[in-house]
A = this chain, B = another copy of it.
Amino acid sequence: MSSTRTHQRPSRSKDGQPGHKLLAIPGPVEVSDNVLTALARPPISHVSPEFAGIFQQALLLSRKVVGSQYGQPFIVAGSGTLGWDQVGANLVERGDKVLVLNTGYFGDGFKDCLLSYGAQVTTLKAPAPGETVPLSSIESALAGQNYKLITITHVDTSTGVLSDIRSIAELIKKVSPSTLIVLDAVCSVGCEEIKMDIWGLDIVLTASQKAIGAPPGLSILVASQRAVKTYSTRKTPVQGYYASWKKWLPIMESYLVAKPAYFGTQPVNLVYALTEALSDLMKGGEEGLAARIEAHKKAAGRLRAVAAQLGMKSLAVKGAEAAGLSAVWVPEGLTAAEILQRAGAKGIVFAGGLLANVKDRYIRIGHMGISVTDGGRGDIERISEVLRTAIGELLKEKQSETTT
């Protein structure tokens, strides 16, 4: 695909137009010029051979980026949430027992979704915000229960907590091998290590707008052959229509061999952008991907060191800190809203808290995609600098308020 740089970049306009603020939120992220250029290509027919080739590439690359050789990829117009529905609609039959590991807001969401498909859900919640679910709790929960599936949020975007999928999967394989392992990897694909085949994951679901670096609007999911078999041997009909693999599986199988097929018009422009973004991600092969993940870890470390100097501790406990975002407590006396506003005035967009009780007590800083991998942009430096000055100014103002 082309990588010319001809489109409009409000971020760089100097003509007095409102400038583009740098996105330092956990998705959508900054999107590269070549991905935006791909996005803006005129639509072509969703059943043309040309589109079939592009879509095939996207499907094949989706597999690669999650470490799967033969998994069945699905790419469907929708937000990341639609991935949850694909799991609920196709893998759950009413009354099925499901174990949901919860490390934040998105664990609640996945549970709600599965309940709406009739699952009998047991939740295992991390002991406190920022913590992970201990392996020992998972082991006891699984003992003698025969859950049909277990869901794990790889990185909960509300808390920045990273779960240790390799160890959890290993444990499940040992104590409950028939349980399907479902990974919500919306905030981890492209910035955390994922070895779908090696770890024996059954579902890896994600979205286009985080570390993959494309605009939002695509649900991306890869299913193991075991998951596809669970779907194809279900006793009751799939629930619903738009999320149904009965409809999408033949379509995706067809596009996997670059043969057009029709169920619902594919969002061709978003697929252009996704294919371009995934090509960038995988252009260095597995090694390139590993280096990219390493770069995210490093950037995260640098940013969190800055935050720590400012007295902003991570929500996530040591060893469970995500590479793509940092959730940090705000300094005593300040609110998240104040910090967001001040940073915004300085051209950087941070995100507020998402956990109901402590919403205004922490902020979330996204560091994914080209902000990390394209060092020439200087995004991480700019984010650090703005964080430093914003907090510095606010603390000084509070101090002078108190003293006067």
Q: Find A31's partner among B27, B42, B81, B242 (CB 8 Å cutoff).
A: B42
**Contact A44 B21, CB 8 Å, known A2-B8, A77-B78, A269-B39:** yes
Residues of B within 8 A of A281 (CB): none
Residues of B within 8 A of A46 (CB): 28, 216
The stretch among A111-119, A226-234, A395-403 that forms the contact with chain B is A111-119
Answer yes or no: A36 CB below 8 A from chain B CBs.
Answer: yes
Nearest B residue to A269, CB-CB = B215
Q: Are A45 and B11 in contact (CB under 8 A)?
A: no
Q: Are A77 and B216 in contact (CB under 8 A)?
A: yes
Would you list which residues of chain A between 75 and 100 have a CB under 8 Å from chain B?
Answer: 77-82, 84-85, 88-89
1/0 contact string of A330-353 vs chain B (CB within 8 Å): 000000000000000000010100
How many residues of chain A are within 8 Å of chain B by beta carbon?
A: 68
Q: Are B116 and A10 in contact (CB under 8 A)?
A: no
Answer yes or no: A392 CB below 8 A from chain B CBs.
Answer: no
Q: Are B240 and A239 in contact (CB under 8 A)?
A: yes
Nearest B residue to A79, CB-CB = B264
**Contact A42 B9, CB 8 Å, known A77-B77, A240-B88:** yes
Nearest B residue to A32, CB-CB = B42
Q: Find A349's partner among B48, B82, B117, B263 (CB 8 Å cutoff).
A: B48
Q: How far is the CA of A2 from the CA of B43 in the complex (A)?
A: 20
Min C-beta distance of A368 to chain B, whole Å: 12
Q: How far is the CA of A28 from the CA of B85 in the complex (A)?
A: 26
Q: Are B11 and A42 in contact (CB under 8 A)?
A: yes
Answer yes or no: A140 CB below 8 A from chain B CBs.
Answer: no
Tell me what chain A mostly uses at the interface: helix, strand, loop, or mixed: loop
Q: How far is the CA of A8 from the CA of B351 in the complex (A)?
A: 33
Residues of B within 8 A of A28 (CB): 43-46, 265, 268
Min C-beta distance of A3 to chain B, whole Å: 11
Min C-beta distance of A118 to chain B, whole Å: 9
1/0 contact string of A28-53 vs chain B (CB within 8 Å): 11110000110111111111101000
**Contact A41 B10, CB 8 Å, known A88-B240, A216-B77:** yes
Q: Are A45 and B30 in contact (CB under 8 A)?
A: no
Would you list which residues of chain A between 286 and 317 have a CB under 8 Å from chain B?
Answer: none
A interface, CB within 8 angstroms of B: 2, 4, 6-11, 18, 20-21, 23, 25, 27-31, 36-37, 39-48, 50, 77-82, 84-85, 88-89, 112-113, 116-117, 207, 209, 215-217, 237-244, 263-270, 349, 351
- What 5 A-B pairs have minimum CB-CB distances, sorted nearest first? A217-B267, A79-B264, A40-B40, A28-B43, A113-B241
